[in-house]
Each structure stands twice: as structure tokens, then as C-alpha cells.
């Protein structure tokens, strides 16, 4: 009798939990689920997807300290390489539009990141960030310097002093 | 060096100088030990130059620059524009807010009031061996890398600008406004952080072995800027430093600068 009662309690609890669980699921029409598009370049991430979902911030933090302080610029775990693979085909960026790789998850999880206050969201050599060849760029800057004479030489010297 | 020697002659028992000498001795001893550990004929600095991708920078190298002010041309601004192109900052001339515009490097034209002699020189972060900006930084964001490059870790910089006050060379700038994703992928920089010349650290780590300003100066045919490893006695910069009389700006501060000037 006792064991039957215990069994009943277990069954009820499980049912209740299952019910509660199903209720906790986001309803259709709630926050839009993140649109995770497959990386454009590359087949396999440097770590397992599950691991990266949970730990990408740790991995990135460690690599950033190594890069800034020790000058280690290995490609594995570098933010630049993340961007190279995950930049969207449409915007060429990981954080320009709502559907872009970093933003789509981070807005869903309501976690604000400030990586892109400083870091470029676009891969190197993409159309938007095309590195001008040194000669042309040089010329462009000279032209610009000549064209805009908003600042007088004295003013520049004052700023410099 | 000669200054230090004469000072130590006068005050042989000064504890500070003694500790400095001891440090130098320990440094030299470590370098020798490291040199010994490497196969005969292979010098330590060669190993440090050809650093593998996941190897940390080492103090066996000290990057520095020799500025030959006698070759620096009047009106030429090539080093400044090359720096702004390489590192993605907007120069004073192009900026909407010239007084806030960053200046990683700037050209100075000086004139001796007595003789009217004019001198041209670029001024930038002098990459001190004992940088005041590092001393004053409250968060440890301002730091000196093992290879002598003084940098700002933007991840810890709070934009307080103490380092800008402390720098005798006015080498640092603050980014006042959002840059709206105009940064170069290799050169992250952003609002609320202090920045300065990095000796093109991204290029050095890539193994280019030269800075954008020095490349531009050579390309323009002036050859006023020479970049290299001051710890390597065989490097071009060390050879030139041995031959030419050079000065450190504000040598009185005893900061042991990484940028040396000839002809000022």
C-alpha cells in the first residue's frame, strides 16, 4: 500500500513537472528565436558547437588577453577569425543587422556586448573594408589634407602643443 | 649611458643606483643564459624575430625608432598620412572636430629663435622603457609589452586620461565619439579609450618588421625614419645609433626612450 502511494506521488510529481515545463516553453509570437545561419566560410568551428554556445566568451576573453599583452595572434579562438567565418552574406558583418550572427542570439538572450564599439564587425578584405593599396590610400589622404583647410597651421600647432 | 656612469662614480653607495646596476646585471645574466640555451651560432634575437604564431613576445627584443631630423623634409606629411591609413584614425585636417582629433603621430616644425634654424621632426609615443603613463594608470590598462612597445589595453581602459596628463610628449589621444564600425579589423579602437602610436604592433606581430610611417618615409625617398630592434647589435638601427650622435627628447626625465632623434 505504502509503495503504491509512493508510486502515485512520483507519477503525479513527474506529470506536474512536465506540465510546468511545457508551460515554460516560449509561446509562439514571443521573443523571436535567434536565426542562426551557418558560417559562410569553413565547415567546422574550432570547437564543438555546444561548447562554443556556452563558452565562447571565456575562449574569446582568454585569447584577447594573450593577444593584447603577449602579442600572440594565433588564428584559433581569435575574434577576427570568428568574424571571417560568421559574417553574414547579406550585410558582410556579424553585427550590422538583427539577423546577423552575433546580434541575433545576443538580442534574444538580452546580453549586451560592447565588442563592436572597438572591433570591426566585418572581415578583412570584404568589399566594405577593402584595404586600399598603400600608394592610392596615401594619395587619397594627401588630397584630403589639401582639400580641407578648415584648420590653420597655427591651430594645428596649438593642438600639438 | 655615459651620464649614468659618471653619476655612479660620484655616488658609489647610492642604493637606487646599486639596485639599477644589479637589475641590469641580472637582465644581462638572463639574456646570456637564454643565449646559451640556443644552438651555437644561432643568436637569441634571431629566434625572437622569427617568433612563431603562438609564442609570446620577449624582452630579448626592444623595438625602437631613429628619427633623422636632418633628413625630415619641410612640408612633408607622409608619415602622418601613412599612419592614419594603416591604423584607421582621422587626421586633424579631415576631422569634424579638429581639437579632439586623434594624433598618433604629428609633424612639428621648430625654429631656433636665435639662429632662425628650422628643424622638422615627427613626434609620437616615445615608447619609454619607464613610461609615466603606465605609472599613473589606475586600472593597469596602460602597459609596456615585453618587447618595449607601450600600449593601451582598451579592454581595461576607463578613459580617465591620467596617462594623457602624465605623458611629457602629449602622445596620447582620447576617442571622444563613436566610430561607427569604421575601424580596421587589425586595429580595434573605440569611444572612451585612450590611444597612441603602437609602433604598428599589428604589422610587427605579422612579421613585417617595419612601421607604416617608416615605410612611407622610405617610399618618399627621405629615409628619415629607421625602425628596428635596438637590442640586436647587428640591426641597422643599432649600427646607426652607434655612429650618429642622437638625443632623447626630455632626456632629463631619464625615461630611456625607444625613439631617438638625430639632428635636434
Per-residue model confidence (pLDDT) at position A71: 94
With b meaning 16 or more CB within 10 Å and e meaning fewer, what string describes B117-154? Answer: eebbbbbbbbbbeebbbbeebeeebbbbbbbbbbbbbb
Separation in Å, CA of A51 to nearest CA in chain B: 22
Report CB contact under 8 Å: B92, A159.
yes
The residue extents of the domains of chain B are: 56-262
pTM for the whole thing?
0.73
Least CB–CB distance from B181: residue in A120, A124, A151: A120
Report CB contact under 8 Å: B206, A118.
no
pLDDT tens figures, B165-176: 999 999 999 999
Here the ipTM equals 0.77
A residues 3-62 near B, CB within 8 Å?
none
Residue B32 above 90 pLDDT?
A: no
Report CB contact under 8 Å: A118, B193.
yes
- Which residues does chain A have within 8 Å of residue B189's beta carbon, measured at their own beta carbons? 118
Report CB contact under 8 Å: A118, B188.
yes
- Which residues does chain B have within 8 Å of residue A129's beta carbon, measured at their own beta carbons? 184-185
Least CB–CB distance from B181: residue in A65, A75, A121: A121
Q: pLDDT class for B52, splitting at 50, 70, 90?
A: confident
- Which residues does chain A have within 8 Å of residue B153's beta carbon, measured at their own beta carbons? 68-69
Give the integer Cα–Cα distance in Å for B91 and B82. Answer: 11
- C-alpha grid cell for residue B163? 596617462
- Which residues does chain A have within 8 Å of residue B140's beta carbon, measured at their own beta carbons? none
When pLDDT is averaged across residues B119-137 and rounded to a whole number, the result is 97
Residue whose C-alpha is closest to residue B120's, from B225, B236, B50, B17: B225
1.10.8.590, 3.20.20.80, 3.30.70.20, 3.40.50.720: CATH of B56-262: 3.30.70.20
- C-alpha grid cell for residue B53? 604564431
Q: What is the mean pLDDT of chain B?
A: 86
Q: Is A139 on the interface with B (CB under 8 A)?
A: no
Distance, CA of A132 to chain centre: 26
Per-residue model confidence (pLDDT) at position B188: 96
E-state strands within chain B? 63-68, 105-111, 118-124, 142-144, 150-152, 173-174, 194-195, 225-229, 246-247, 259-262
Residue of chain A minimizing CA distance to B212: A134
A71 with B143: CB under 8 angstroms? no
Residues of chain A with pLDDT below 70 are 1-29, 126-161
SS3 call for B221:
coil
pLDDT tens figures, B192-241: 999 999 999 999 999 999 999 999 999 999 999 999 999 999 999 999 99
Annotate chain A with three-state secondary structure: CHHHHHHHHHHHHHHHHHHHHHHHCCCCCCCCCCCCCCCCCCCCCCCCHHHHHHHHHHHHHHHHHHHHHHCCCCCCCCHHHHHHHHCCCCCCCCCCCCCCHHHHHHHHHCCCCCHHHHCCCCCCCCCCCCCCCHHHHHHHHHHHHHHCCCCCHHHHHHHHC
- C-alpha grid cell for residue A23? 508551460
Q: Which of A68, A92, A93, A116 to substitute to test the interface with B, most B CBs within 10 Å?
A: A68
Give the integer Cα–Cα distance in Å for A58 and A33. Answer: 24
Amino acid at each position: 500500500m505504502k509503495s503504491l502511494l509512493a508510486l502515485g506521488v512520483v507519477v503525479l510529481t513527474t506529470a506536474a513537472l512536465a506540465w510546468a515545463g511545457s508551460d515554460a516553453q516560449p509561446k509562439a509570437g514571443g521573443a523571436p528565436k535567434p536565426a542562426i545561419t551557418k558560417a559562410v566560410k569553413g565547415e567546422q568551428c574550432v570547437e564543438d558547437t555546444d561548447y562554443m554556445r556556452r563558452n565562447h566568451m571565456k575562449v574569446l576573453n582568454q585569447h584577447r588577453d594573450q593577444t593584447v599583452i603577449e602579442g600572440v595572434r594565433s588564428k584559433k579562438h581569435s575574434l577576427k577569425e570568428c568574424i571571417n567565418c560568421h559574417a553574414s552574406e547579406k550585410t558582410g558583418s556579424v553585427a550590422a543587422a538583427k539577423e546577423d550572427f552575433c546580434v541575433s542570439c545576443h538580442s534574444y538572450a538580452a546580453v549586451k556586448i560592447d565588442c563592436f564599439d572597438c572591433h570591426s564587425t566585418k572581415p578583412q578584405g570584404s568589399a566594405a573594408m577593402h584595404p586600399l593599396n598603400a600608394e592610392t590610400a596615401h594619395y587619397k589622404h594627401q588630397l584630403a589634407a589639401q582639400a580641407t583647410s578648415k584648420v590653420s597651421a597655427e591651430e594645428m600647432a596649438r593642438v600639438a602643443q | 649611458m655615459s651620464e649614468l656612469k659618471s653619476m655612479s662614480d660620484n655616488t658609489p653607495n647610492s642604493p637606487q643606483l646599486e639596485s639599477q646596476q644589479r637589475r641590469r646585471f641580472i637582465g644581462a645574466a638572463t639574456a646570456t643564459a637564454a643565449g646559451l640555451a640556443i644552438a651555437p651560432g644561432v643568436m637569441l634575437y634571431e629566434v625572437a624575430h622569427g617568433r612563431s604564431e603562438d609564442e609570446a613576445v620577449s624582452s630579448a627584443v626592444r623595438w625602437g625608432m631613429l628619427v633623422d631630423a636632418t633628413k625630415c623634409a619641410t612640408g612633408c606629411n607622409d608619415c602622418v598620412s601613412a599612419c592614419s591609413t594603416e591604423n584607421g584614425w582621422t587626421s586633424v585636417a579631415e576631422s569634424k572636430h579638429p581639437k579632439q582629433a586623434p594624433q598618433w603621430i604629428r609633424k612639428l616644425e621648430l625654429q631656433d629663435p636665435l639662429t632662425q634654424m628650422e628643424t622638422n621632426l615627427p613626434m609620437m609615443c616615445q615608447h619609454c622603457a619607464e613610461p609615466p603613463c603606465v605609472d599613473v594608470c589606475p586600472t593597469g590598462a596602460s602597459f609596456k609589452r615585453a618587447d618595449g612597445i607601450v600600449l593601451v589595453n582598451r579592454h581595461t581602459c576607463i578613459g580617465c586620461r591620467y596617462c594623457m596628463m602624465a605623458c611629457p610628449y602629449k602622445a596620447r589621444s582620447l576617442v571622444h565619439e563613436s566610430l561607427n564600425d569604421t575601424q580596421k579589423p587589425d586595429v580595434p579602437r573605440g569611444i572612451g579609450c585612450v590611444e597612441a602610436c603602437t609602433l604598428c604592433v599589428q604589422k610587427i606581430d605579422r612579421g613585417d618588421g617595419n612601421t607604416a610611417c617608416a615605410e612611407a618615409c622610405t617610399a618618399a625617398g627621405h629615409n628619415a625614419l629607421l625602425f628596428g630592434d635596438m637590442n640586436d647589435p647587428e640591426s641597422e638601427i643599432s649600427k646607426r645609433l652607434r655612429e650618429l650622435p642622437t638625443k632623447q627628447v626630455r632626456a632629463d626625465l631619464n625615461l630611456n626612450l625607444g625613439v631617438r632623434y638625430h639632428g635636434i
